[in-house]
């Protein structure tokens, strides 16, 4: 019997955010943005794409994965802070139920 690894939502989010761009959003850049609530200037478009286009399951899984080691409330607050700065907060509010 083989054990399946849980999905890596950080990696899926980075892939989703980077599909249309030459340079990729790295896992470290994404995690840092979600822990600080600040989008790196050169990755703002990536985060905007992620927040506008990622399936809800990826965004919710991302929150769940990071909340294993950080405050869920802080992660959600930081995602919303980024979404407001990028003017894509309506969808994020609906997904996170803020």
Could you read off the pLDDT of 55-86 as tens digits, one per residue?
A: 999 999 999 999 999 999 999 999 999 999 99
Residue 4 covered by a domain: no
pLDDT (0 to 100) of residue 93: 97
Q: Is the pLDDT of residue 2 over 90?
A: no
Residue 19 covered by a domain: no
Residue 76 covered by a domain: yes
How many domains does the chain divide into?
1
- Residue 98: closest CA among 84, 87, 85, 86: 84
pLDDT in tens, 37-60: 999 889 999 999 999 999 999 999
Q: What are the angstrom distances between the C-alpha of 74 and each of 1, 57, 62, 96?
A: 38, 19, 13, 12
pLDDT (0 to 100) of residue 86: 95
Residue 31 covered by a domain: no
């Amino acid at each position: 019997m083989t054990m399946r690894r849980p999905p890596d939502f950080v990696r899926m989010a980075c892939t989703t955010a980077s599909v249309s761009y030459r340079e990729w959003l790295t896992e470290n850049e994404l995690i840092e943005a979600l822990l600080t609530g600040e989008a790196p200037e050169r990755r703002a478009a990536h985060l905007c794409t992620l927040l506008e286009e990622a399936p809800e399951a990826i965004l919710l899984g991302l929150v769940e994965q990071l909340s294993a080691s950080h405050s869920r409330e802080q992660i959600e607050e930081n995602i919303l802070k980024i979404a407001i700065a990028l003017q894509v907060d309506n969808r994020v509010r609906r997904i996170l139920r803020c």
